Structure 1
Amino acid sequence: MSPSRPLRLLMDARYTRTDFHDGISRYGASLTEAVAHRAAAERGEGVDVEVAILISDERQLALLPKGVPWHRVSGPTSSREPFVARQVARLRPDVVFSPMQTMGSWGRRHALILTLHDLIYYEHRTPPQNLPEPIRWLWRAYHLTMTPQRLLLDRADAVATVSRTTADLIAAHRLTRRPVDVIANAAQPVPRPRDPEEAPERTLLYMGSFMDYKDVESLVDAAPLLPGYALHLLSRIDPARRAQLQERLEARRAAVGEDGAEVVFHDGTDEAEYVRLLRRATAAVTLSRAEGFGLPVAEAMAHGTPVVCSDLPIFREIAGAGTPSFRGVPLEGDRAAALAARVRELEDPAVFAAASRAGVAQAARFSWDESARRLLELTRELGQARRAEAPRAARGRRGRSSR
């Protein structure tokens, strides 16, 4: 094998949605686009890298970068997943990057990078509702102890994660013997953030799931305390969960004696509408009790929209603790009242403008191009090491066969 042949990097895009992105889908698609662009720009400057995509459904291509070669294999929740490396082998990759930690690796000959986004489900064990019921049962069993996680991560050549906060947690729990690299999440580039001097609409946006640990209840509880505002809950929601939150809202309004903010359930929104609402809002809000990164926080700041968020280590990292862009709400006490107080602070034009400008500067610390640079650096390191080992392994196999 010629050492001058470009390294082949396969980006596992089988977690890409077919309608609109969730967090994992956006991370994988955005990173793939940045990696393909940077690899093309760096061609001829060192060890070249050829980038291709793995999909399981051709409809995923609608949300993936155009012009990048793709290959179809079985899906990540298929019974064939433990052996997917056999399907991948025919593509002769040097390195495979997966945006999750569960990619099958039995029989692989390529270097493998697995991604662990967070440790949320060890504390909050309810699995995502969109998973098939058998997978949900496996999910629960998997998160009973950290042993399965360690076994999965140690199968890889390297482990990626999306934030320094999660990297520190991985180290604290000794989850892997493999090197851990931060290949961070990031907001999409914003050519021109909103004017920080322009008065915002009295609207608040929540973009995220309605799982228990997200504490959407405290957002709903805050609504009666904010007359004149509208709280937009943007994501898709199960009808039973929506009815539960609406019932809570009515009880809260009766207790407070004030209707307060209008609460609008969007049940999903497209990218254009999300950005339109975001650039007019007083703030993006989240009182989540756990996150791996908090992409909606970074997205809001990139557009110049202030954020009111839980006082979590991850939000201190992403939103910039100690700067005007970080408006934290304690994890205990009356969280609804604390949120409402933080929102009212932004009614001061000077406070709003300072938070807007600081958010733009903070969001710029995370970029897809920098994440792509790190992944390509890791790809070259692992790919060249794998090629150097191949002749020795081949000699070993010949030696055994001659005995």
Structure 2
Amino acid sequence: MKIVIDARFTRTDHHDGISRYGASLIAAVAPLADVTMLISDEHQLALLPDVPYLKINSPLSPRELFVARQVNRLDPDVVFCPMQTMGSWGRRYALVLTLHDLIYYEHPAPPGFLPAPVRVLWRLYHKAYWPQRLLLNRADVVATISRTTEALMHRHQLTKRPVRIVGNAPQADRMPRNPGTAPEKTLIYMGSFMPYKNVETLIRGMAELDGFALHLLSRITEPRRTELELLIPTGAEVIFHNGVSDAEYDELLLRTTALVTLSKAEGYGLPLVEAMALGTPVVVSDTPIFREVGGTAASYVPADSPAAFASQVRKLADPAVWSQCSVDSVRQAARFSWADSARELLDIATELTYQR
């Protein structure tokens, strides 16, 4: 069976969520099938596994409308795209498109790294559901990464196609920390600084966490940093890293008290499961997706309550409470694996191949 996986959403400098998802899935599926990946920039190869590839146009190019002409030359049985925007006119293969979340219908501000014309189209696109339906119904199967998003897709009747879970997961072969070793009095946040991420409440909560330091790890623009710095309570310690490497991220996770996020919307919440896999407890907003990923291991608080957030962090200062949360976190994270996701994709590919 020949599977082509679209890797053109891979970053060239460091992974974001979509980039890591695609690269990890390729690495998991490649030993099990004949896999070729699509790229649009050879610099993407630095963050991708060593798999045969074809370089084609960017997914943001007008040529994307006719991309199937190039992909048809590979004679694939199934093409998997980790997004829903891949062109499909004239395709001679089964197609699986992916919808990760519906965040931008509720929070329509587009990512700042997109070109200005794309940002305008982004806002227009998310004003109604019918454009999404048109995109998804071009596929033979639609994939998503969580039961939470699957339920939302059914609620809004986003596609007539079968919906299947090809889940996200932490990176494998990472040794959890010793739950008997006391953590540092630090908290870490990994994620963007878009408004729905609600970093403001984390910062306000530091007013009641004397002795703790909050580390904000992701890259941030200077204007946004200035906005957030004005919110730091007097005497609180909030540190902006403006980006960290994967090694630095793991090193911080292995010594911090908890990973924290009060985001109001997520498609999955990869930082949660990354932290839990290393035995680091998580304190998160009480949302359906975080309940799905965090299970009984996570600590949940109302998204807009700095006081509740601070109270939950203080509970983790108890060594016995922290140690039990660490053990529970590792157990919960083990429910998610790239091996399972690879098997699900192969099951989908097998079914589609028999149908054609």
TM over 0.5: yes
Q: Give the conservation status (yes or no) of the 8 Å contact 1:190–1:303.
A: no
**For the residues of structure 2 that align with 1:30 and 1:138, how far apart are their CA atoms?**
29
Larger Rg computed on CA atoms: 1
Cα drift, residue 94 of structure 1: 1.3
Q: Residue 238 in 1 paired to residue 221 in 2?
A: yes
Q: 2:46 aligns with which of 58, 62, 74?
A: 62
Q: Residue 329 in 1 paired to residue 289 in 2?
A: no
Q: Which residue of 2 is the match for residue 363 of structure 1?
A: 333
Equivalent runs, 1:1-400 vs 2, <5 Å: 7-37=1-31, 39=32, 49-66=33-50, 68-249=51-232, 252-253=233-234, 259-260=235-236, 262-320=237-295, 323=296, 325-332=297-304, 335-386=305-356
**For the residues of structure 1 that align with 2:311 and 2:206, how far apart are their CA atoms?**
12
Give, as a single letter, the amino acid of the residue that structure 2 aligns with 1:343: V
Q: Give the conservation status (yes or no) of the 8 Å contact 2:174–2:277.
A: no
**For the residues of structure 2 that align with 1:224 and 1:237, how far apart are their CA atoms?**
22
In structure 2, list runs of 5 or more residues that go unmatched.
none
Cα drift, residue 224 of structure 1: 2.2
**For the residues of structure 2 that align with 1:95 and 1:9, how far apart are their CA atoms?**
5
**For the residues of structure 2 that align with 1:358 and 1:183, how far apart are their CA atoms?**
24
Q: Does the residue aligned with 1:280 lie in a helix, a strand or coil?
A: coil
**For the residues of structure 1 that align with 2:24 and 2:299, how far apart are their CA atoms?**
27
Q: Which residue of 2 is the match for residue 3 of structure 1?
A: none
Deviation string 1:341-378 (CA, Å, 9 cap, x unpaired) is 11000011111011111110101101000000010111
Q: Does the residue aligned with 1:248 lie in a helix, a strand or coil?
A: coil
Deviation string 1:312-332 (CA, Å, 9 cap, x unpaired) is 000000000xx2x12001134
Could you list the structure 1 runs, at least 4 aligned residues long, displaced by more than 6 angstroms after superposition: none
Q: Give the conservation status (yes or no) of the 8 Å contact 1:190–1:302.
A: no
Give, as a single letter, the amino acid of the residue that structure 2 aligns with 1:58: E
Structure 1 residues 135 and 9: CA distance shift in structure 2, 3 A: same
Normalised by the size of structure 2, how large is the TM-score? 0.98
**For the residues of structure 1 that align with 2:146 and 2:253, how far apart are their CA atoms?**
24
**For the residues of structure 1 that align with 2:323 and 2:190, how far apart are their CA atoms?**
22
In structure 1, list runs of 5 or more residues that go unmatched.
1-6, 40-48, 254-258, 387-403
**For the residues of structure 1 that align with 2:102 and 2:221, how far apart are their CA atoms?**
25
Q: Does the residue aligned with 1:80 lie in a helix, a strand or coil?
A: helix
| RMSD (CA atoms) | 0.9
Cα drift, residue 383 of structure 1: 2.0
Q: Does the residue aligned with 2:231 lie in a helix, a strand or coil?
A: helix
Cα drift, residue 337 of structure 1: 1.1
Give, as a single letter, the amino acid of the residue that structure 2 aligns with 1:193: P
Give, as a single letter, the amino acid of the residue that structure 2 aligns with 1:272: A
**For the residues of structure 1 that align with 2:282 and 2:184, how far apart are their CA atoms?**
14
Q: Give the conservation status (yes or no) of the 8 Å contact 2:174–2:278.
A: no
**For the residues of structure 1 that align with 2:181 and 2:259, how far apart are their CA atoms?**
17
Q: Does the residue aligned with 1:114 lie in a helix, a strand or coil?
A: strand
Q: Does the residue aligned with 1:338 lie in a helix, a strand or coil?
A: helix
Give, as a single letter, the amino acid of the residue that structure 1 aligns with 2:49: P
Q: Does the residue aligned with 2:214 lie in a helix, a strand or coil?
A: strand
